[in-house]
Amino acid sequence: EDKVVQSPLSLVVHEGDTVTLNCSYEVTNFRSLLWYKQEKKAPTFLFMLTSSGIEKKSGRLSSILDKKELFSILNITATQTGDSAVYLCAVSHKIIFGKGTRLHILP
């Protein structure tokens, strides 16, 4: 059975800390892994990863994929209160989402 598992499910840190969110998967016919940020409403796209070992970076956020060990990490450095959200990981070809990591940044 295809599955995507995110950890931790919930995380509380102080502003300025660095966090690492994990996403592991077991799926047939893997095409890509995508990260989304969900605040109050619609998830918004962060990264799409298709190749192992190539880091994608956007400001303080970065992500990398390991297709041998079947996982990805999302790093956020120097966290800010605006980073508080649910972070979702999804894997295609059949689009399967993990349950998300709820991140709360304390001022």
Partner 1 sequence: NAGVTQTPKFRVLKTGQSMTLLCAQDMNHEYMYWYRQDPGMGLRLIHYSVGEGTTAKGEVPDGYNVSRLKKQNFLLGLESAAPSQTSVYFCASSYHTGRGGQPQHFGDGTRLSIL
Instruction: Say how many residues touch partner 1, by CB under 8 A.
Output: 21
34 lies in the binding site for partner 1 (CB under 8 A):
yes
Among 78, 93, 104, 106, binds partner 1 (CB under 8 A): 93
Q: Are 70 and 24 in contact (CB under 8 A)?
A: yes
Q: How far is the CB of 75 from partner 1 (least distance, A)?
A: 19
Phi and psi angles of residue 2, each rounded to the nearest 5 degrees, phi first: -65, 140
Considering the complex, state which of residue 54 and residue 95 has its C-beta at the smaller distance from partner 1.
Answer: 95
Residues of the chain by 3-state class (helix, strand, coil), percent to 5: 5, 60, 40
Instruction: State which of positions 40-79 bind partner 1 (CB under 8 A).
Output: 41-45, 48, 50
Q: Measured between alpha carbons, how far is 30 from 15 in angstroms, rounded to an integer?
A: 35
The end-to-end CA distance of the chain, in Å, is 41
**Which residues make up the interface to partner 1 (CB under 8 A)?**
31-32, 34, 41-45, 48, 50, 88, 90-93, 95-100
